[in-house]
Amino acid sequence: MKNYDAIVIGGGPGGIAAAYDLKEQNKSVAVIEADLWGGTCPNRGCDPKKILMSAVEAKARVEKLNGKGFNTSPEIHWEELMKFKRSYTESVPSNTKKGFEDAEIDTFEGQAEFIDAHTIEVADERLSAKQFLIATGQRPAILPIEGQEYLQTSTDFLNLDNLPERIAFIGAGYIAFELATIANAAGAEVHVIQHNDQPLKGFDKELAMNLTDHLKNKGITFHFNVDVAKVEPLDPGYRLSADNFELITDMVVAAAGRVPNIETLKLDKAGVTYSKRGIPVDEHLRTNQSHIFACGDVLEKAYPKLTPVSGFEASYVVNAMNGETEPIHYPLIPSLVFGDQKLARIGLSEKELSEHPEKYHSETMELGSWFTYFRINDQEAKIKLVYDDQKKIVAITCFSELADELINYFNLILEKKVSHEELADFIFAYPTPASDLEYFI
């Protein structure tokens, strides 16, 4: 049986970051991966999605300038776009594994199962370690409805050889919005079905509805207050049904949440507490077993489950494994819905704001006439600033083509508590989103 100082279960962004940091401390390290080396983000998540979205953004940029220098709308060729995406994703697993091997980090492929609190088994081999890090992430949830075997997921969508003529997404969170945006721009008939009337839970409702209206104008059909009960196959296609609702489509994508990858770890044998929402940890990211840590999307936590958060937690875990006594402190974390029009927010959660409305007031600013947005004809651009009773900005939501860039500036400003006077001491390139900052703060 091989013995290690640390074993990392999960070869995704969190596990990768931790494994390299541990190795730099001259520890013996092994990493176990049950699926694709590199994890969800580069293989079937953020990165391939953003590659496909790049075509959507380019198409929309030209369309906004129709009649203002252009008189055409580019057509997205799905097969060529998918080939471009695969030119990136196909090498991720091998490159990730080679990186581990070059760093003299042992790698094992297969499902890890705890035998006891210090021993695991993978591919018929037993390994032991002084410390463990569980970083197994999440996977798309499959709705427990009749005909669930016909549901596909974001993983399937991001690897389509051919785009179906009709696609339905069940769920109205950021994944559904982003994939629906891609499918619509590429020419599919797109439907988004939500069990209530609140899309993009966690984002400002007013601006979330602005994005919804924008996508409606693009041709996406939204069905609110529809709880899909059944999916049945046709020849060809599928029928979705609910009370007073029926829809015929060629593909049904379940985009109603994700679940942690914990069931097959046999955590009970290690004495590790867990729930269907993930693994609970203390303020040092330790499980109830002091030598077993967890980070990333597998955690049961309130903080956003995002790739950069996983990396941040992994770096902290390495220090915690070495006896770090300070609890983890999360900085501000931006949330973002990608698309030709993006929705981004930072600051106090919408839940916190709604629970104490008497403490806060907001201001919505129309940005379409500002030169930064006028020059790209982004007439829908808006920003909402939320203030507390001390006139301090506590939350910001941006809705525009440039929201992703703008929210990162606000991240720095709010985190470092940069004042209006301090901003005025900078000279930014003009015209850019940065040169507008002093008018917001």
Q: Using one digit for the tens of pLDDT, what is the confidence trace for 318-334?
A: 999 998 789 999 999 99
Please tell me whether 173 is known to bind a ligand: yes
Work out the angle at residue 89's Cα, subtended by the Cα atoms of residues 87 and 95, and round it to the nearest 5 degrees. 100
Please tell me whether 426 is known to bind a ligand: no
pLDDT tens-place string over residues 119-169:
999 999 999 999 999 999 999 999 999 999 999 999 999 999 999 999 999
The mean of the pLDDT values for the chain is 96
Residue count of the chain, please give it: 441
pLDDT attached to residue 325: 82
Please tell me whether 257 is known to bind a ligand: yes
CA distance 24 to 168: 47
Please tell me whether 250 is known to bind a ligand: no
pLDDT attached to residue 303: 82
Q: Percentage of the chain with pLDDT > 70? A: 100
Please tell me whether 174 is known to bind a ligand: yes
pLDDT tens-place string over residues 181-230:
999 999 999 999 999 999 999 999 999 999 999 999 999 999 999 999 99
Expressed in percent and rounded to 5, the helix, strand and coil fractions of the chain are 35, 25, 40
Work out the angle at residue 12's Cα, subtended by the Cα atoms of residues 336 and 416, and round it to the nearest 5 degrees. 45
Domain parsing of the chain, residue ranges? 2-140+259-322, 148-256, 341-439
- 2-140+259-322 CATH fold: FAD/NAD(P)-binding domain (3.50.50)
Phi, psi of 84 (to 5 degrees): -65, -45
Please tell me whether 197 is known to bind a ligand: no
* Contact between 140 and 255 (Cβ < 8 Å): yes
* Contact between 300 and 278 (Cβ < 8 Å): yes
What's the per-residue H, E or C state across 298-355?
HECCCCCCCHHHHHHHHHHHHHHHCCCCCCCCCCCCCEEECCCCEEEEEECCHHHHHH
Please tell me whether 297 is known to bind a ligand: yes
CB burial readout 72-82, b (16+ within 10 A) else e: eeeebebeebb
pLDDT tens-place string over residues 226-263:
999 999 999 999 999 999 999 999 999 999 989 999 99
Bridge partners, residue 400, by sequence:
342
Residues 6+ apart with CB under 8 A from 355: none
Please tell me whether 172 is known to bind a ligand: yes
Can you tell me which residue has the tokens 């190795």?
23
pLDDT tens-place string over residues 356-378:
999 999 999 999 999 999 999 99
Q: What's the number of CA atoms in the CB half-sphere (13 Å) around residue 126? A: 7
Common-topology check for domains 148-256 and 341-439: no
CB burial readout 229-264, b (16+ within 10 A) else e: eebeeeeeebbbbbeeeebebbbbbbbbebbbbbee
Residues 6+ apart with CB under 8 A from 136: 9, 10, 12, 34, 260, 261, 262, 265, 298
pLDDT attached to residue 266: 97
Task: Sort 298 into a burial class: Cβ within 10 Å, 0-12 / 13-18 / 19+.
Answer: buried
pLDDT tens-place string over residues 377-415:
999 999 999 999 989 999 999 999 999 999 999 999 999
pLDDT attached to residue 44: 94
Please tell me whether 11 is known to bind a ligand: no
Q: In the predicted model, is pLDDT for residue 64 greater than 90?
A: yes
Confidence of residue 294 (pLDDT cuts 50, 70, 90): very high
Pairing of the two strands 2-9 and 29-33: parallel
CATH of 341-439, one of 3.30.390.10, 3.20.20.20, 3.30.390.30, 1.10.10.60: 3.30.390.30
Q: Measured between alpha carbons, how far is residue 171 from residues 39, 62, 137, 159, 276 in Å?
A: 23, 30, 20, 20, 20
Can you tell me which residue has the tokens 């109603």?
256
> For the domain 148-256, what is the CATH superfamily, name and number?
FAD/NAD(P)-binding domain (3.50.50.60)
Average pLDDT over residues 31-48: 96
pLDDT attached to residue 302: 83
Local structure of 215: helix, strand or coil: helix
Average pLDDT over residues 335-348: 97
Residues 6+ apart with CB under 8 A from 424: 438
Q: In the predicted model, is pLDDT for residue 81 greater than 90?
A: yes
pLDDT attached to residue 304: 84
